[in-house]
Chain A
Amino acid sequence: MSLSVKHLLGIKELQQQDIEQIFQTADNFKQVLQRSIRKVPALRDTTIVNLFFENSTRTRISFELAEKRLSADTVNFSSSGSSVSKGETLIDTVKNILSMKVDMIVMRHSASGAPWFLAKHVDASIINAGDGTNEHPTQALLDAYSIREQLGSLKGKRVTIIGDIMHSRVALSNIFCLSKLGAEVTVSGPPTLIPKHIQDLGVRVEYDVKKALEWCDVANVLRIQLERQHKPLFSTLREYAIYYGVNKQMLESLQRDIIIMHPGPINRGVEINSDVADSKHSIILNQVENGVAIRMAVIYLLSGKRDLVD
């Protein structure tokens, strides 16, 4: 058994059985993480470089922990303080790193499509840790895995994604991943933050957040990405919070309990209130916990593809 891909660039390229295989493998790693020795020697002959051209807390720590729990050697790179500021190109940077015998690359980049571009020019396996406003595959995998853990399966489940759909790579990867696993997806938020033609991906659009919440089993609340909004798309954060923020009162008015998720970082009081983020409905910290097991599974399964490189 093996994944059908050599890289994890986006969920779009994965088959449903790839996702199932990643989940099964993650189940075992989750069990490893509960032992007193939370580490296995599987990848002690593998070196992985974490290339972060954009800020990150969770994803970077999660990848680094996943690599260390697999006994891989890791090198961390962040663009600030590197030769990138001297004008070195992406390909040159990566080729130089690879010539020091690195087997796998984890990359976050602010340009959409950067990992695909890199995959064409280098031999090593590449894992996309978020590219611009395009995809964030490991986040979508850990989100779907966390829902599966709560509800048993994704098939026929209803998931609403609320917020800045336009600038969110989490939203796009989630839509691909949930659809492939047989869940139904609705996106919700202000019309200016929902891309035109998103229905073509097979999702529903509901501008009324209350209605979108009433429809779903799971709500994935996204952060407003002000850093990617180059022109004003809504008047103020306060107004956004009033019309599109998820609060306790709103949740209590629903007919049934729903699960609340958030990929982090949270802007408390904007897209989600503390009384929701810290409530029993929230599985935000479970998502973070599952992230390590999912990333271990992805790295482990892709490491077998190394033979194709040599």
Chain B
Amino acid sequence: MKILLDHKQLDITLQRLAHQLAENHLTFHDTVIIGIQPRGIWLSQRIARIVQEITTGNVQYGKLDITFYRDDIHQQGDMHLPAHTDIPFSIEDKSVVLVDDVLHTGRTIRAAMDALIDFGRPKKVELLVLIDRRFSRELPIQPDYVGRTIDTIITQKVKVYWQEKDNKDEVVLLD
């Protein structure tokens, strides 16, 4: 097991990501942040909170469940149980920042984009991830904002712990 980000590094990384978002968007009037269920929620909540602190105006934040859009529904023994989708605003003509904790094969993001399009036609979709496992993509999908880029092999696992859920802030690489 290797610690990729400890509590303090994670905090600095989140601050940087939020500031990069604010730098590129100036105002969040036409930009919304949407976290991908289940694990992107914690990251997106933190990012939305920091962005709210450093910008003026209300930052709109939602949650998107992608269970019914997955391409592996019948490849696993068990069914994935859905989580709640909560997008209490229109995404029509908005810039959407999709947020997930770990980017690996890119299949989750493909499903998320399909799910998102069912809610309207966004002007632009960007992707923010905490950990980018590069060179392991199965689809042509790249992030716009990255916390940490790492090289991994398929058997390794990246685990992200959040204070709100796991009582600690930490990102580790498991062999």
Contact = CB atoms under 8 A, between A and B. Distances in A.
Interface of A: 1-2, 21, 24-25, 27-28, 31-32, 35-37, 39-43, 45, 70, 300-301, 303-304, 306-307
Interface in B78-99: 78-85
B74 A31 contact: no
Interface stretch (B10-18, B47-55, B112-120): B112-120
B81 A1 contact: yes
Nearest to B118: A37
B69 A304 contact: no
B135 interface: no
A298 to B, nearest CB: 12
A28 B85 CA distance: 8
Contacts of B79: 1-2, 300-301, 303-304
Given A25-B82, A32-B68, A307 B114 contact: no
A216 to B, nearest CB: 32
A307 B77 contact: yes
Contacts of A27: 84
Given A41-B69, A45-B74, A35 B119 contact: yes
18 contacts: A1-B79, A2-B79, A21-B81, A25-B82, A28-B65, A28-B82, A31-B85, A35-B118, A36-B119, A40-B69, A40-B118, A41-B68, A43-B73, A300-B79, A301-B79, A303-B74, A304-B73, A304-B77
Interface of B: 65, 67-70, 73-74, 76-85, 114-115, 118-120
Contacts of A37: 118-119
Contacts of B119: 35-37
Contact of B81 (A24, A40, A41, A43): A24
- Of B65, B74, B77, B78, the most chain A CB neighbours within 10 A belong to B74
Contacts of A40: 68-69, 115, 118
Contacts of A24: 81-82
B118 A28 contact: no
A53 B133 CA distance: 54
A25 B69 contact: no
A36 B78 CA distance: 29
A303 B118 CA distance: 23
Contacts of B76: 304
Contact of B114 (A21, A28, A41, A43): A41
Contacts of A306: 74
Given A40-B115, A303-B74, 19 more contacts: A1-B78, A2-B78, A2-B79, A21-B81, A24-B82, A27-B84, A28-B82, A28-B83, A35-B119, A36-B120, A41-B68, A41-B69, A41-B114, A45-B73, A45-B74, A70-B68, A304-B77, A304-B79, A306-B74
